[in-house]
Amino acid sequence: MNTTYPIAAVGELIGEPARAAILIALLDGKARTAGELALTANVSAQSASAHLSKLVDGGLLKASRTGRHRYYAMAGPDVAHALEALGSISTLPRARIATPRPRAADDMYTARSCYDHLAGRIAVELSGALQKCGVIRPCGERDYELGRAGQAWFANLGIDTDSLRRSRRIFARQCLDWTERRPHIAGALGAALCSRLLALGWIACRRDSRVTRITPRGARELHSRLGLTA
């Protein structure tokens, strides 16, 4: 492990294919057992255990025990954001156009979870619609801030933006979407928005997958409130 340059050490951790597969599988923010992750990475249980130990020691994953099982999850949102950013520079637009994608990949590109917020085409379009309606606005190169209609709009949705500001987390981050190459909303606001849309039944998660979808009710509500066509 390279200890001279920390970024090189992280690169070594992510660069091994089995470890990359494990990290990508955990991008939905859920915790999984070593056995589940071994199947995902297509490696033996012993090999998965060694990879997981390195990822935990390297600060990319955290481990917890419930009963007889040990569960692994992302160490925090910054790890997920870093992986999404790496995706945006490792997938060339030319290759995306020239190479046919399976249906599962199309679904992932359309809407997915990235740790605890929404990503994909729908998330990017939602971010754009919120900006157009004055709900959010870019703030510097990395963040969003509430626009003139922001606090009232989110309050009407059931989200208290004042309480989000009091949290220790970044309020609203511009997270570069690796499939769309435009930003979606991350940070405390992105997480709260995703959680609220799930609670309202406007979006739904596919079981055992990062893929999400807009429900018929969600499509109607987002169209009427933001003019968004899902």
Q: What is the pLDDT of residue 215?
A: 95
Task: List the chain domain ranges.
Answer: 6-75, 78-226
SS3 83: helix
Q: Which residue has the higher pLDDT, 131 or 109?
A: 131
What is the DSSP-derived secondary structure letter of residue 3? -
Element (H, E) at 80: helix 77-90
Class level of CATH domain 6-75:
mainly alpha
Give the Cα separation of 154 and 141 in Å (integer).
23
Give the model confidence (pLDDT) of 119-168 as tens digits.
999 999 999 999 999 999 999 989 999 999 999 999 999 999 999 999 88
What's the whole-model pTM score? 0.72
Q: What is the pLDDT of residue 94?
A: 46
User: What is the b/e burial string over 181-213, where b = at least 16 CB atoms within 10 angstroms of the residue's CB?
Assistant: eebbbbbbbbbbbbeebbeeebbebeeeebbbb
Mean pLDDT value of segment 81-100: 62
